[in-house]
Amino acid sequence: GHLSVHIIRRHALSMDGRTRYEEVINGRPVLVQKEIMSPPRQKIKAVIFDLDGTLLDTEVLADRAMFQAFGKSLPESVREHIRKDGDKLPWEIKSKILGMRGSEWIPMVLKYAQEHWGVASSGEEDGITTHALPPPVDEFWRRWETNLSELCLDVKECPGATSLVQELSRLNVPLAIATSSRLVSVNKKRIKHEEMFKHFQTIVTGDDKAVKNGKPAPDIYIEAARRLGVHPSECLVFEDAMTGVKSGNAAGCQVVAIPDPRMDKAVFSPMADAVLESLWHFDGEMWGIQLNMADCKNRIVSGV
């Protein structure tokens, strides 16, 4: 009647280029959470942040700006339904485009709009009425950025963003931003957030000449690490989107994911070194960073 459990062996498994650990208990493999078991590959010397959805809560504003960019091509019945849904892009398409550059996500959204919202495609005419055509990709992108720039003057930070950046800066950790947004857009978004932005040594944007391919390609994180003078393997990346997590991974960085609450966190586990609910949950110990954001939050709350 006595059940004995013996760990027979433990060995590393490579999954998506990440090390995880497997314990074989009584002949049955059991995967152990790598946040607990997996030591960092090496101590972190620099931190690189994604911007939209990671530091600044731009995602709802981005959706609103996108619906505006359709102009009269979006049927009023669809627009009304979207308004009732809080001006949010349906998650089935939103989840696919998070973190992408406009040149990549706009064609995907236009295709979705044609298939699901009755938006006309070029050369398509309705027998009874001719729907207004949506603008071409470049014009859509320009409208979207203009709309978003106006909305983003009041953009809020993501929970814990300024505090985390300030604390890392206090510890003299070199900091960068690697964002798919274009420079003109970033300059608008940062206007009311200089207390955060002043701590960054460099900002690499999606339209930077050094960034040939957008996320999930590694270009932008490799370039950010180069500008900080730190090897990518010694950089810790913060990302909210799978596209960005893949980008950081491909660059050889270590990655912390803070997914959108609508996203299944389990999807990120094989790809990220840690998956957090918010930046307030960050504990830097496993990367050799003496910073626990929960303690920091408690100090702020207690006014210390």
- Residues with catalytic annotation? 50, 52
CB under 8 Å to 254, separation ≥6 — which residues? Answer: 40, 41, 44, 233, 235, 236, 237, 248, 273, 287
126: which 2 tokens?
């309705």
Return d(Cα 282, Cα 271) in angstroms, integer: 17
Return d(Cα 129, Cα 138) in angstroms, integer: 26
Locus of tokens 């102009």: 71
| DSSP assignments along 29-85, one per residue | EEEEPHHHHPPPSS---EEEE--BTTTB--HHHHHHHHHHHTGGGS-HHHHHHHHHT
